[in-house]
Structure 1
Amino acid sequence: MRPTEPNTAFCHTLSVQQRDIDELGHVNNVVYLRWVQEVAAAHWEAVAPAELKQQYSWVVLRHEIDYLRPAFLQDTIEGYTWVEPAQGPKVARHVRLYRAGSQELLAQAKTSWCLLDAASMRPKRISEEIASTFSPPA
């Protein structure tokens, strides 16, 4: 964990691939957005029990992203994520992408996600059980 992230932050490592590089020689902005989603999905996959993953799905409502520095081929990226307290079926998620081995913040995002009942595909209020999966025990 980095000193600027809360102690509940989850870290997921990503590698820059040749397909991520655009005509300017650095990672295309769309890839950063893909990484934000990958980090979020990895977090849910790592912390949620199988029964919750079967019962619920998540859908993005909004992405807000700031591009701060470029990433390049062969870079390793550390994505840190954490969520704010839920508001009904919605939760705000933060993601910060760093160049591994440095304090270089490459991009940061705040995204809004909605919990869906997997069977009905209707919004579902985020229960304490679901909310607690995102926070490791103290």
Structure 2
Amino acid sequence: MPLVVGLATLLAVAPVQTGSAMQAGAALCGEAMSIYLPEPLGTPAPNIQLAHFQYMSPDEACARNVQRDVLMRLHDRIKPIAASAFANSKASFSVMVRYTLTPDKPAVFEMQTTTTPATEEGRLTAFYHGAAALDDARSTLGTVYVVFNYDISPARR
């Protein structure tokens, strides 16, 4: 499995916007928008931390082209998949997923991890297949990238 790259690398894959209005909007919003979810809302299991839940759009400086309920529905659907796959993990590692949302196509799923022991491959495969099946989220206009970064630690017995 490839190493996790920074969130900025995963989010910043589109051309830079031009124009003073776009630049002003970007200055107010930053590179990506973060959603903070207090525990236990953001925590799939005691040994799984949702380190980052971010989204951005190369087409809209403040990513207003995706509704918050779409983002929360995606989170609500991936959370039990993460819990099912990693709640009994025996190692520490990170998993970063990115969904590319558009108005008219299925969401595109990508996943990267830190180096994980072979004993975790089955868990990663189960998570990958479950999370990749969540392809019905859409943006209202243009492209939106949604990133979930999970830090997994060994389950306590």
Superposition TM-score, scaled by structure 2 size: 0.34
Bigger fraction of residues in helix: 2
The structure, 1 or 2, with the larger RCO (C-alpha pairs under 8 Å, 6+ apart) is 2
